Structure 1
Amino acid sequence: MRNIPEIKFNNRRVEHINGFELKVLEEFISNLKKPTDHDPFQAHRLSFNIILIITDGMVRHSVDFETHDLQEGDVMVISKGQIHAFDVHSRYKGYMILFTEEFMQKYIASSTIAQINHLYNYFLGQKKINNPDHNQTLIRSLKKELQRNSSTLPNVIGALLSIYLLKMNDENDRSSNFIVNKYLDCFNHFKLLVEKNFSKSRDAKTYAAEMSVSYKFLNQVCKEIVKTTAKAFIDSYVILEAKRILVTTSLSVKETAYALGFDEPTNFLKYFKKHTSCTPAGFRKL
């Protein structure tokens, strides 16, 4: 079985900000500065968030096994838990902004997190946004502030990211209406439970009971935050994990079914085909 490495946030940063780092892409993927804990050209899972900004040329970048063509001015948010890989044949020019969930919770207002939440809902479809003016403004401001290294630096960096992500959310043409905090907290709880227990249960009512909320309320929360039902969210997550296993391991379809919590491989076959219009074996070949 070929395992996907999970990349932890590197605390040996020069910015001296817990949970934040700005990287120059050319330096990151060069032979001299290639990370020693993993190969960036092979699939690896993130334990933090990335904003990938392309400032010149065109590249092909893989996120959750889908290839995206990115060009000058394009930006893509890659979320914690996603699997991505750099393209060995592309010449990357631009920046990577790395930040952890802890940094976001501490230095970005909860109302802002609620508004930009859709940017991180990768199961709804990975999006790229062409945003050259905002990109240049952000990078220029970050570089200027990082040279100061003052006691207020993390707060300033959080403010700059907040402004940028809010503008990016507007460019994404998704709803940026204020979301009640209790909905966001509930959804985040639900999402964590699904990530932890999806192989044990795919029943939305079970998760609602564990959270001590009604099934109707959980559906309402999911529709507010991610514009889908609780059951559809669970199914999207299970299918994504199935794809990750099929593409990155040598487990058979039968073994994959059991790993995902299906009692019978035939049930997994029907489930996978229902949600993808493709068999697991067919998807693996693709």
Structure 2
Amino acid sequence: MEKTFKNLEIYKVKKAESVQEFYENLSLNRPGLTIPSLDTLYDVGHFNVFTRGNCGSTGPVSYNRKDYYKISLVIGEGILFYPDQQIVVDGPALLLTNPDVPYHWQAGSEAQSGYFCLFTENFIRNRNETLRETLFSRIKDHPVIHLSDAQATVFSEIFKKMMAEMDGEYIHKFDLLRNYIHLLTHEAVKICPVNEASKPTNASARLASQFIDLLERQFPIDSTDRVVELKTAHDFAAKLSVHVNHLNHAVKEVTGKTTSDHISRRIANEAIALLRYTEWNISEIGYCLGFEYPANFNIFFKKQTQSTPKAFRKV
């Protein structure tokens, strides 16, 4: 396999691939593919599952971030290009990728099979548990988990059940599919002990990790008496005792997104949860999330979700 990948060039793509772009790219190799409606992308989120086919590529390899999570059961040879490393796969493996890290899969053999599923953060998150606190986040430092044939069979059966549910008419099938995602991650955790997770390897990675942890500790908001305290990059920089420019540089270098992007996305996700799962009025929700005036909350929410809080709650 070394000869296959020896002369490849890597080009970083700054813009993250959206779910819409994923389907457009997939349809190039699968002409009969019907792109599903993405109307609920900003509300309940999106999930889908597919079989893997021949996915070899020619020419330079490009890799970028995605706006979704992806779990793949890979049967076939290849390399996962990851920041600062290339992980060789020469047998059955589970690939777990997330929106914060750019990557690219390069097939090394013509025979490629298996399955993969993709889902957005708001699909898997429930009211009291953010995705970073789920099992899936606990194995985020293990993008490739090598499998025995017996282990590959276990994961294959789960993916087959996912595909059967997607084709079925069960009214609560997406709740069941969320459980299958958790089952996949439980099986992955058993194979890959979390206490062996790799640690941040440089100062930027450590600072970015501290920022993310500090951001997440503010949520969920479980009472109207609680108000988000850290709302800007300057707030976080002061709390971490670093200059705001240093923090911004570290976060962008490691995740590909700005500090403000992370803060806005997390506040928007919490706003969605509060609108959906509580009976608090919109002014109370906005105030808890750091917006003194309802109009400012409305502007922020519409920018993030293309819907006003009032319209979102009515859906």
**TM-score bin, normalised by smaller chain:** 0.5 to 0.7
Give the aligned partner of residue 137 of structure 2: 117
Task: Give the residue type in structure 2 aligned to 1:188.
Answer: E
Matched, 1:204 2:240: yes
Task: Give the residue type in structure 1 aligned to 2:240.
Answer: A
Give the aligned partner of residue 134 of structure 1: 154
The correspondence for 1:151, drawn from 167, 171, 193, is 171
Give the aligned partner of residue 77 of structure 2: 58
Whether the 8 Å CA contact 1:60–1:69 is kept in 2: the answer is yes
Give the aligned partner of residue 46 of structure 2: 19
Give the aligned partner of residue 225 of structure 1: none
Question: Any idea what SS the aligned residue of 2:187 has?
Answer: helix
Give the aligned partner of residue 86 of structure 1: 105
RMSD: 4.7
Cα offset, 1:153, TM superposition: 0.9
Task: Give % identity.
Answer: 8
User: What TM-score comes out, normalization by structure 1 length?
Assistant: 0.53
Matches within 5 A, 1:134-283: 134-174=154-194, 188=216, 197=233, 201=237, 204-205=240-241, 237=251, 240=254
CA distance in 1, matches of 2:91, 2:189: 19
Cα offset, 1:110, TM superposition: 6.0
The number of equivalent residue pairs is: 197
Give the aligned partner of residue 15 of structure 2: 5
Matched, 1:101 2:121: yes
Question: Any idea what SS the aligned residue of 2:139 has?
Answer: helix
CA distance in 1, matches of 2:158, 2:106: 25
Task: Give the residue type in structure 1 aligned to 2:163.
Answer: K
Whether the 8 Å CA contact 2:73–2:115 is kept in 1: the answer is yes
Task: Give the residue type in structure 2 aligned to 1:6.
Answer: A
CA distance in 2, matches of 1:167, 1:126: 14
Whether the 8 Å CA contact 1:129–1:168 is kept in 2: the answer is no
**Structure 1 41/8 Cα, relative in aligned 2: closer, same or farther at 3 Å?**
same
How big is each residue's C-alpha offset from its partner over 1:147-190, in whole Å with a ceiling of 9 and x where there is no partner?
Answer: 21322110010111112211211221115xxxxxxxx9855257
**Structure 1 239/190 Cα, relative in aligned 2: closer, same or farther at 3 Å?**
farther
Question: Any idea what SS the aligned residue of 2:115 has?
Answer: strand
CA distance in 1, matches of 2:63, 2:132: 31
Question: Any idea what SS the aligned residue of 2:14 has?
Answer: coil
Whether the 8 Å CA contact 2:19–2:68 is kept in 1: the answer is yes
How big is each residue's C-alpha offset from its partner over 1:131-153, in whole Å with a ceiling of 9 and x where there is no partner?
Answer: 41331121121122122132211
Question: Any idea what SS the aligned residue of 1:43 has?
Answer: strand
Unaligned 5+ segments in structure 1 are: 32-38, 176-183, 211-232, 243-286
Give the aligned partner of residue 76 of structure 1: 95
Question: Any idea what SS the aligned residue of 1:167 has?
Answer: helix
Task: Give the residue type in structure 1 aligned to 2:36.
Answer: R
Question: Any idea what SS the aligned residue of 2:36 has?
Answer: coil
Whether the 8 Å CA contact 1:8–1:46 is kept in 2: the answer is yes
Task: Give the residue type in structure 2 aligned to 1:81.
Answer: D
